[in-house]
Structure 1
């Protein structure tokens, strides 16, 4: 039986986006500072937890779509802690042999995921910065798990808002997609201020006090992140409107543009 990992030395007083997201989803891998920052956002955006859940529901639908397209390998960048509604469980409901390489750079996330995935030969967690594709692909947890000669689902869900323009997120994504086989699918969500500019401005002000300043992007800017991939139906839409199921389309948008692009 695996032991709970000894958490690495971390700054518990500075909120972190991965741990804040864990708190929003009802997880326990977060600190008081993460909870306090999240509550400040909720004061101006009471629907912030619903937005996080809508994003998570989209992720599950997108994973099921990818498996339905014959993809059994997933590279999840900025994955967070793979707790409830995680990628490997969603994929394996349809394909028990699905492989998932999680990547994150937050120490508590990596330590917690290491324990959660202990003994799973087909799921790994890699400590790496998604802004360095070469390091990600060279990491044993990615290199030894994924067969890049076959299609892979590249997941960048609710993470690119933490990559500023000066780091060239579109260029980073091109480097990832260039390593993937034709038929691979790029799944993406991104926070936006297109609907609630004042509330999202308040959100980004809070994130400026965290380890992960956030940038909201317009629908046109998010569309550019897909590069030359071919968006599958229904295109780039609110997360609640992408192939909805029981948690499906709602009259209330949730502030995330979402889509999936096929790599030729």
Structure 2
């Protein structure tokens, strides 16, 4: 059976490619660059700080023996051992009508005890003056965006044991020294353990 080649629609921006552009990557197209360029200058730093959170959280989990990280697109896992479900800079692209909390619960329900949720979520809580510019840039690119407040991000961790320091801004989450530079962030970040 022959596989159909995947066709990438380069006429429409995609959030992952916009994020790649914000991080200085090369896997993006002019349409993605256009959306990224319309975002506030702070977006590049927020994306970099978010990526640093992901690296810190993954290193901390790996040091504790978690060696399976779930890539939603292609998962081959041993569900008898802990798994880290990584939802980095993803759920803010799901509007409330798509029930992102239920989707997260469904994914977590398949994981064994001792697994973890590693989540970062876009917010304007520390940048309220930039909220409209960010929303407008994504809307012009026809990319749904639902930045959430801390109270709206907390339910993603319902039923989980939050790892210290809890749900904090991406620049505040760390386990090992040296501590990251404290600065304003466009992301909440947290790690929760499946009991």
Same fold (TM over 0.5): yes
In structure 2, what is the Cα distance between the partners aligned to 1:154 and 1:9?
27
Query: Which residue of structure 1 aligns with residue 170 of structure 2?
Result: 239
Query: Which residue of structure 2 aligns with residue 66 of structure 1?
Result: 61
In structure 2, what is the Cα distance between the partners aligned to 1:211 and 1:149?
40
Query: Which residue of structure 2 aligns with residue 56 of structure 1?
Result: 51
Choose from 21, 24, 29 the match for 2:19: 21
Query: Which residue of structure 2 aligns with residue 11 of structure 1?
Result: 9
Note the residue ranges of structure 2 that are not aligned, 5 or more in a row: none
Q: Which structure 2 residues correspond to residues 23-172 of structure 1 after superposition, within 5 A? A: 23-41=21-39, 45-75=40-70, 102-103=71-72, 126=73, 141-142=74-75, 145-172=76-103
Contact kept? 1:59, 1:157, Cα under 8 Å: yes
In structure 2, what is the Cα distance between the partners aligned to 1:8 and 1:179?
28
Choose from 183, 187, 194 the match for 2:114: 183
SS at match of 1:20: helix
Contact kept? 1:51, 1:254, Cα under 8 Å: yes
Note closer, same or farther for the CA distance 1:225–1:40 as it changes in structure 2 (3 Å cut). Answer: same
- Deviation at 1:211? 4.5
Post-superposition CA distance 1:137-171 (Å, at most 9, x none):
xxxx32xx200111100100100000111111111
The number of residue pairs the alignment matches comes to 190
Note the residue ranges of structure 1 that are not aligned, 5 or more in a row: 1-6, 76-101, 104-125, 127-140
In structure 2, what is the Cα distance between the partners aligned to 1:262 and 1:9?
37
Please give the TM-score of this superposition, normalised by the length of structure 2.
0.91
In structure 2, what is the Cα distance between the partners aligned to 1:17 and 1:162?
8
Aligned-CA RMSD value: 1.6
